[in-house]
């Protein structure tokens, strides 16, 4: 019944939201809450932003290498956004899931669709995070301070298209308050782990109960 | 997004466990936690035990009336256990679900199967509660003090058969500690309510976001 059961394959947890609705903050908070979680670090051809760390925020690479990884089937999903390529390297995800670790994907709807259709094994939980309002979404984007008006305009246009895919997800949250949103994410993850098919040790446990029944019979 | 959404049909929550594993205590705790929950009070032909209240613990009735209810299609499920008939009256359940209230069924595996196969609408979450051990199960049965050795022997035999149906349920909990078990039940219910298809007002909310997008365009 423990989370790190060697005979249990991990769950793939897809977190999507428009830029500024909080999915990256929420992913970081979940990682801090449960250190047994694994985070799928994306590869990208865009340049690092100030403070971003190689291998932690992204694997930064060039177009040629990225293209080769795609051709070699090393990417679970990949997409081009604003002229840069992004993708989820397959090997670390397969390794974590195989070790029974649940893996968080901080990806957009295109990535979510590709992961759901990939050979990951099908044990996927998908969560879409909506902003409380578009005004608040824009305010959060501007408060980051690293985008020009033009880029913010583009991000808002992309947000509209991102939001149009909300109905493809298992769960939908409205992030009006980060603490509430985090609590809801914890709740979803804790409940999903209590599903029967995610507790492979239950069979042994019930076998033990049945043996106890047999021993007490005269 | 609120729980009592008039356009949202309630969830049927099936709680099953062998006698003594705690399902009735857990059902009462859930009802105390969330007064918006509705409890499906069973009808039975057995006599009331001391302290049991008509309409709260059971609807007590005679065989003839019970049989007529079954013939009239008034029972969602019914079964005979130790010579007494038990069943879930349909009308109060349909009424609560239609009003958007989630309904708890404290029933055995036979009842669970019949509810799942009934015309309830299919929105069902089923949870099986296992005892931590058979010794503990027997201890809890004996501590109630209202059953003879013979009845306890029969209950234990029925428990073995009940437990053999654990794998038919969506979630399985081991009730080693009532507070933990209650917290897990709350978690499951809270998460299930966050599923997209259980939040019918989301469509209106997203429509509002889209209108906001259109208003901000030049």
Chain A CB within 8 Å of residue B167 CB: yes
Confidence band for A82, pLDDT divided at 50, 70 and 90: confident
**What is each CA distance from B97 to A23, A208, B57, in whole angstroms?**
34, 38, 20
Looking at residue B20, its pLDDT comes to 86
The average pLDDT across B6-34 equals: 92
Q: Each residue of B162-204: pLDDT tens digit?
A: 999 999 999 999 999 999 999 999 999 999 999 999 999 999 9
User: Does residue B5 have a pLDDT over 60?
Assistant: no
The ipTM (two decimal places) reads 0.90
**Considering only alpha carbons, which residue of chain B is nearest residue A18?**
B209
Residues of chain A with pLDDT > 90: what percent? Answer: 80
Provide mean pLDDT across the span A65-91. 94
Measured between beta carbons, the chain A residues lying within 8 angstroms of B202 are 130, 166, 172
Confidence class for position A121, pLDDT limits 50, 70, 90: low
- Model confidence at A7, pLDDT cuts 50, 70, 90, reads confident
Does any CB of chain A come closer than 8 Å to the CB of residue B204? no
Q: pLDDT class for B218, splitting at 50, 70, 90?
A: low
**How crowded is residue A217: how many other Cβ atoms within 10 Å of its Cβ?**
9
Answer whether B213 sits within 8 Å of A187, measured CB to CB: no
Nearest one of A200, A214, A217 to A9, comparing CA atoms: A200
- Read off the pLDDT of each residue in B52-78 and give the average, rounded to a whole number: 95
- CB contact under 8 Å between B163 and A134, yes or no, is no
B216 vs A162: CA distance, rounded Å: 17
Q: Is the pLDDT score of B118 beyond 90?
A: no
Which residues in B lie closer than 8 A to residue A194 (C-beta atoms)? Answer: 171-173, 184, 187-188
SS3 A42: strand
From B190, which residue of chain A is nearest by alpha-carbon distance? Answer: A187
Q: Confirm whether residue A20 is marked as ligand binding.
A: yes
HSE, CB side, 13 Å, CA atoms: give it for residue B209: 26
| C-alpha closest to that of B102 among B205, B202, B2, B203 | B2
Residue A151 has pLDDT above 90, yes or no: no
What pLDDT is attached to residue B121? 63
- pLDDT the model gives residue B107: 93
Tell me the percentage of chain B whose pLDDT exceeds 70. Answer: 96
Across the interface, whether the CB atoms of A171 and B191 are under 8 A apart is answered yes
A37-51, A202-216, B20-34, B145-159: segment of lowest average pLDDT? B145-159
| pLDDT (average), residues A46-61 | 94
Sort residue A20 into left (φ over 0), alpha (ψ -120 to 50) or beta.
left
Q: At CA A163, angle to CA A147 and CA A78, rounded to 5?
A: 70
Chain-centre distance of CA B158, in angstroms?
Answer: 19
Measured CA to CA, the distance from residue B211 to residue A135 in angstroms comes to 12
pLDDT of residue A4 exceeding 50, the answer is no
* Mean pLDDT, residues B145-155: 85
Kindly tell me if the per-residue pLDDT of B2 is higher than 50.
no
Task: Examine the pLDDT at A111 and tell me if it is beyond 50.
Answer: yes
Q: Which of A165, A173, A61 is nearest to A113 (CA)?
A: A165
Is B18 labeled as ligand-binding?
yes
Among the ranges given (A62-66, A214-218, B59-63, B66-70), the one the predictor scored with the smallest mean pLDDT = A214-218
C-alpha distances in Å from residue A117, one per residue of A15, A124, B87: 16, 10, 44
Can you tell me the mean pLDDT for A165-169? 97
pLDDT at A75 over 70: yes
Instruction: Report the C-alpha gap between B53 and B39 in whole angstroms.
Output: 14
State the architecture of A12-40+101-216 in CATH terms.
3-Layer(aba) Sandwich (3.40)
What residues have CB less than 8 Å from A202, skipping those under 6 apart?
A: A1, A196, B130, B166, B172
pLDDT recorded at residue A160: 94
Q: What's the pLDDT score for residue A218? A: 62
- What would the two tokens of residue A103 be? 């893996």
pLDDT at B145: 77
* pLDDT band at residue A3 using 50, 70 and 90 as cut-offs: very low
């Amino acid at each position: 019944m423990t989370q790190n059961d060697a005979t249990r394959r991990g769950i793939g947890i897809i977190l999507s939201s428009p830029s500024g609705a909080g999915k990256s903050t929420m992913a970081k908070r979940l990682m801090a809450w449960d250190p047994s979680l694994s985070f799928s670090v994306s590869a990208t051809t865009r340049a690092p932003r100030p403070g971003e760390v190689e291998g932690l925020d992204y694997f930064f690479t060039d177009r040629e290498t990225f293209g080769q990884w795609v051709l070699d089937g090393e990417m679970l999903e990949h997409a081009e956004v604003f002229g840069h390529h992004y993708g989820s390297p397959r090997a670390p995800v397969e390794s974590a899931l195989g070790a029974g670790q649940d893996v968080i994907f901080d990806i957009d709807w295109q990535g979510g669709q590709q992961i759901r259709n990939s050979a990951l094994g099908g044990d996927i939980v998908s969560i879409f995070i909506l902003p409380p309002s578009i005004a608040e979404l824009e305010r959060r984007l501007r408060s980051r301070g690293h985008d020009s008006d033009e880029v913010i305009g583009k991000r808002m246009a992309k947000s509209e298209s991102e939001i149009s895919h909300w109905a493809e997800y298992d769960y939908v949250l409205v992030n009006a308050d980060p603490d509430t949103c985090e609590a809801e994410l914890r709740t979803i993850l804790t409940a999903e782990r209590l599903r029967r098919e995610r507790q492979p040790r239950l069979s042994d446990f019930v076998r033990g109960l049945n043996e106890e029944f047999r021993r007490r019979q005269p």
